[in-house]
């Protein structure tokens, strides 16, 4: 590589391990020396950064036999790094600014709150990524979230609640209404897939039509007497526990649930024939057909699996808030698409990773939570989110043109 400097990968890894150990030790020392009322949990964040650096260094050593034995540094690699991580670096700067403005942001509880808020959004984003990977989209995601929320909560109210959706309905096992809600979403997901796969309808049009149908059907159901469009409340504790339980007294149960689905989707995309077919269709549909990929079956499964994820997200969101209306989930699809794009999922299809989606969701949640934390107007928050989306898409398109 011209005009590039290099160091052995083991030396590169050793530097990270050494720096990580130093940071971890400094963090522990700072926890005893610094004033906790002013620095809050900053020392433990330093410890966390140190541990992350050590893990990265160990990873470089363990994977060294699969990687280049030399690590190269040049103007080109630096430019590529800045381009590929521009959003992450901007987020880091924003977090530092927020911490200076409001030191209370440097608390472990803030991190836990961000993870909690990210959980259901991540599940929805993991569902919508399948449509994006085949160069499509899914505008019906948010309305499916609302449908799942309304259907599940309508059958899971306490017997003593005055305004029950079904006054004479017996107390059902909690899993039955949840399954019914998810199946309702999957029916509309199958419709999405059929329109796209059978008639080669563009996913934007197909899911737009389905979005309108879902909202209409959900609103009709929500308006049924005796409910008559009243917000659904009086939710049973065994259902709300799915979204409100705290593990070890601090960690929301939604976090491990989101981790489970993240691992499951990673496995599907990376270790199954279906996942490889998704990337193949997104990369080059004609080539995928020639190589024997069943495009109709794959597209059907994509939208059905996506709708399953939306249903799960809607049920968990209803459990977290202990209620629902027919407007639940409004706009969730745009946030999910934006998070995927910011996380590196290409709008041209065939490119995207689960890790990138996780980072994209966290980026948007940190931005929203952080700006609210320091009292920034919601209008300015929308402007900032719009700028981030535009920059992320511009970076994505520039990388695609270079390739």
pLDDT tens digits along 287-315: 999 989 999 999 999 999 999 999 999 99
Please say whether the beta carbons of 181 and 314 come within 8 A.
Answer: yes
Mean pLDDT of 240-252: 93
- The pLDDT of residue 400 is 59
Strands (E), 248-296: 251-252
Mean pLDDT of 80-87: 74
Q: Which residue has the higher pLDDT, 366 or 400?
A: 366
pLDDT beyond 90 at 257: yes
Summarize pLDDT for 97-107 with one digit per residue, the tens.
888 888 888 89
| 8 backbone dihedrals φ, ψ, rounded to 5° | -60, 145
| 182 backbone dihedrals φ, ψ, rounded to 5° | -70, -40
Distance in angstroms (rounded) separating the CA atoms of residues 391 and 221:
40
pLDDT beyond 90 at 55: yes
| Predicted confidence band of residue 3 (pLDDT cuts 50, 70, 90) | low
| Predicted confidence band of residue 132 (pLDDT cuts 50, 70, 90) | very high
Half-sphere exposure of 58 (CA within 13 A, CB side): 8
- The pLDDT of residue 403 is 55
- The pLDDT of residue 401 is 61
Mean pLDDT of 118-140: 95
Would residue 40 be called left, alpha or beta, if left means φ above 0 and alpha means ψ between -120 and 50 degrees? left
- The pLDDT of residue 68 is 77
Strand partners, 8: 70
Please say whether the beta carbons of 145 and 320 come within 8 A.
Answer: no
Please say whether the beta carbons of 201 and 195 come within 8 A.
Answer: yes
In this structure, what token pair is assigned to residue 53? 């650096």
| Predicted confidence band of residue 363 (pLDDT cuts 50, 70, 90) | confident
- The pLDDT of residue 262 is 97
Q: How far is CA 150 from CA 99, 200, 219, 232, 354, in A?
A: 39, 31, 9, 8, 29
Mean pLDDT of 149-158: 96
Mean pLDDT of 64-84: 77
pLDDT beyond 70 at 356: yes
Enter the pTM of the model: 0.91
Hunting for tokens 């794009």 — which residue is that?
341
Average pLDDT of the chain? 90
Mean pLDDT of 235-243: 95
| Predicted confidence band of residue 212 (pLDDT cuts 50, 70, 90) | very high
Tell me which of 194-198, 261-265, 372-376 is least confident. Answer: 372-376
- The pLDDT of residue 62 is 84
CB atoms within 10 A of CB 1: 11
Q: What is the end-to-end Cα distance of the chain in Å, rounded?
A: 19
180: nearest Cα among 155, 158, 146 = 155
Mean pLDDT of 9-15: 90
CA 201: distance to chain centroid?
A: 27
Q: Which residue has the higher pLDDT, 264 or 346?
A: 264
In this structure, what token pair is assigned to residue 106? 């440097």
Distance in angstroms (rounded) separating the CA atoms of residues 403 and 391:
19
Please say whether the beta carbons of 280 and 287 come within 8 A.
Answer: yes
pLDDT beyond 70 at 117: yes
| Predicted confidence band of residue 37 (pLDDT cuts 50, 70, 90) | confident
């Amino acid at each position: 590589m011209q005009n590039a400097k290099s160091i052995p990968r083991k030396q590169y890894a050793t530097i990270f391990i050494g720096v990580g150990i130093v940071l971890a030790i400094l963090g522990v020392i700072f926890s005893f020396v610094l004033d906790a009322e002013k620095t809050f949990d900053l020392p433990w964040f330093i410890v966390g950064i140190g541990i992350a650096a050590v893990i990265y260094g160990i990873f470089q050593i363990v994977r060294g036999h699969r990687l280049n034995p030399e690590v190269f540094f040049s103007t080109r690699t630096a430019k590529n790094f800045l381009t590929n991580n521009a959003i992450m670096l901007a987020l880091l700067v924003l977090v530092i600014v927020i911490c200076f403005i409001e030191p209370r942001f440097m608390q472990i509880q803030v991190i836990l709150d961000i993870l909690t808020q990210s959980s259901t959004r991540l599940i929805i984003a993991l569902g919508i990524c399948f449509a994006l990977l085949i160069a499509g989209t899914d505008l019906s995601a948010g309305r499916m979230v609302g449908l799942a929320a309304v259907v599940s909560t309508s059958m899971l109210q306490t017997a003593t609640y005055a305004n029950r959706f079904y006054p004479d309905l017996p107390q059902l096992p909690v899993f039955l209404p949840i399954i019914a809600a998810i199946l309702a979403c999957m029916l509309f997901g199958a419709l999405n897939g059929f329109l796209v796969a059978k008639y080669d309808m563009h996913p934007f049009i197909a899911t737009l039509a389905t979005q309108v149908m879902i909202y209409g059907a959900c609103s009709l159901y929500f308006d049924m007497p005796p409910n008559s469009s009243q917000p659904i409340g009086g939710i049973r504790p065994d259902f709300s526990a799915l979204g409100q339980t705290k593990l070890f007294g601090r960690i929301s149960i939604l976090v491990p649930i989101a981790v489970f689905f993240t691992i499951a989707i990673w496995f599907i995309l990376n270790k199954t024939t279906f996942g490889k077919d998704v990337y193949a269709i997104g990369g080059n549909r004609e080539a995928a057909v020639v190589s024997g990929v069943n495009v109709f079956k794959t597209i059907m499964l994509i939208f059905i699996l996506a709708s399953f994820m939306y249903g799960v997200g809607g049920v968990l969101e209803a459990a977290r808030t202990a209620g629902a209306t027919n407007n639940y989930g409004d706009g969730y699809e745009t946030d999910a698409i934006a998070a995927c794009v910011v996380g590196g999922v290409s709008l041209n299809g065939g490119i995207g990773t689960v890790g990138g989606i996780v980072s994209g969701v966290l980026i948007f949640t940190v931005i929203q939570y952080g700006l609210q934390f320091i009292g920034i107007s919601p209008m300015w928050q929308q402007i900032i989110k719009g700028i981030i989306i535009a920059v992320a898409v511009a970076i994505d398109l520039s990388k695609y043109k270079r390739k």
